[in-house]
Amino acid sequence: MSMIAFDPQLPLGLIAALAGLSLAALLLALWRGLAGWWLRALAALVLLVALAQPSWRQEDRLPVADIALVVIDESASNRIGLRPDQVAEALEGLGARLDRLVETGGLELREIRVRDRGEDGTRLVSALAEAAAEIPPDRIAGAILVTDGQVHDADALAEFPGPVHVLLSGSAADWDRRIVIETAPAFAIIDEPVSVTLRVEDIGVAPESGGFAPLTIALDGTMPLRFDVPVGESVTVPVTLGRGGANVLEFATPQVAGELTERNNAAVVSINGVRDRLRVLLVSGEPYPGERTWRNLLKSDSAVDLVHFTILRPPEKQDFVPV
C-alpha cells in the first residue's frame, strides 16, 4: 500500500492561516498588476509544502488471523456419567466446523483446559481472561466454553472483549442429592450437647420423594443412627461427645436411582472434645517463692482441679530407697 503522508512542523491551523495570507497577498498583487507575482506565489507554495513536510510511504502488510479461544471444563463435575463422551463429541464437531476457517488462514484456535482448584471451585472465566490478556483485543474473534455450567467466576465474563458461546454438557433431566453442613462447632464440652445444622437438598429435576430423605449419623465409627429429615430444609442435630480430642461425625444419605454421583451423599465433621474442668498435676521440689505463685494461681481458678506433689528428697542422697 502506497500513500503520501504528512508530518507538519507547525499545527495545521497555523499552516492554513499562512496559506490564507499568501493567497490574499497573491490576489492583491494581481489586482494592482505588480510584476513578479508568480515568483512570490511559487515561493509561498514551496514554503507551505516544506512546513507540511510530505513523504512517500509504502507499506507492506501481511494478514493476521483472528484467534478463537476454546475453554474446556475438565472439573470433577464434568467427568460424571456421560459428560466426558458428550464433551469429546462436541469438540469433534466443533473442530470439524472451525477447521475450514483455519485452513484458509483467517482463524487460529487455542485450547485452554481447566481443572478444579480445590476450594476455589471451577475458575473457567479466570483462565479465559488470562489467555485473552496475551492477545491483542483486535485479534480476539470470540470464545467457546465447553462446560457443564458449574462455574464459580461467571461474574467476570462481562469484561471479556468478544462474543462468548457456551456448549453445555449433561441433560436437562439431570439431578443430584447432597448434604450441606451449614454450622458445626470446632470445640465442644464433653457430656454436654452441641448442635450441628445441616441440610439435605436436591439439585436439578429430582423425582418425587415425599419430601423426606433418610439420614444416618455415626460418631467415631459407631453404629449409625437413622432419621428421616425434610429435603431442602435446615435441620439441627444435637450431638453429645463422650471423650476428649477429635471426634468424627459422619452424616450420610443413601444413593437414589438416577443421581449423578454419590460422592456428595456424605459429609464428615470433626469436633474437638474438651473437659469442663482442667486437671493439673503440679510437681515441685524444694520450696521457693515461684512455687507458691503457681500454686495460688492454679487454686484461684474454680475450673482447675489441682493435684500438688512435693518431692523433698535431694538427688545426691545415698540410701537404699530405689529411684
> Residue 148 belongs to a domain with what CATH number?
3.40.50
Q: How many residues does the chain have?
A: 323
Give the pLDDT of the chain (323 residues) as one tens digit per residue. 677 777 777 787 787 887 888 778 878 777 777 777 777 777 778 887 777 777 787 777 778 889 999 999 988 888 887 888 999 999 998 888 888 888 888 888 899 998 887 667 788 888 899 999 999 988 999 999 999 888 888 888 888 888 999 998 888 788 889 999 999 999 888 888 999 999 999 888 777 777 889 999 999 888 899 999 999 899 999 998 888 889 999 999 998 888 888 888 999 999 998 877 778 888 888 788 888 888 888 888 877 888 888 877 776 776 666 65
Q: 303 lies in a domain? A: yes
Cell numbers found for residue 292: 507458691
**What total number of domains does the chain contain?**
4
Final residue in a domain of this structure, among 136, 168, 200 = 168
pTM of the model: 0.58
Q: Which of 117, 143, 168 is the last residue of a domain?
A: 168
| Relative orientation angle of helices 12-32 and 37-52, to the nearest 10 degrees | 170
Do 102 and 49 belong together in one domain?
A: no
Q: Which residue has the cell 499545527?
A: 11
Q: Where are the alpha helices (DSSP H) in the chain?
A: 12-32, 37-52, 83-103, 124-132, 289-299
Residue 317 belongs to some domain of the structure: no
Q: For residue 268, give the CATH number of its domain.
A: 2.60.40.10
Of 168, 200, 217, which residue constitutes the final position of a domain?
Answer: 168
Structural domain of 52: 2-58
Decide if 320 is inside a domain: no
Nearest to 77 by CA among 160, 180, 149: 149
* Residue 31 three-state SS: helix
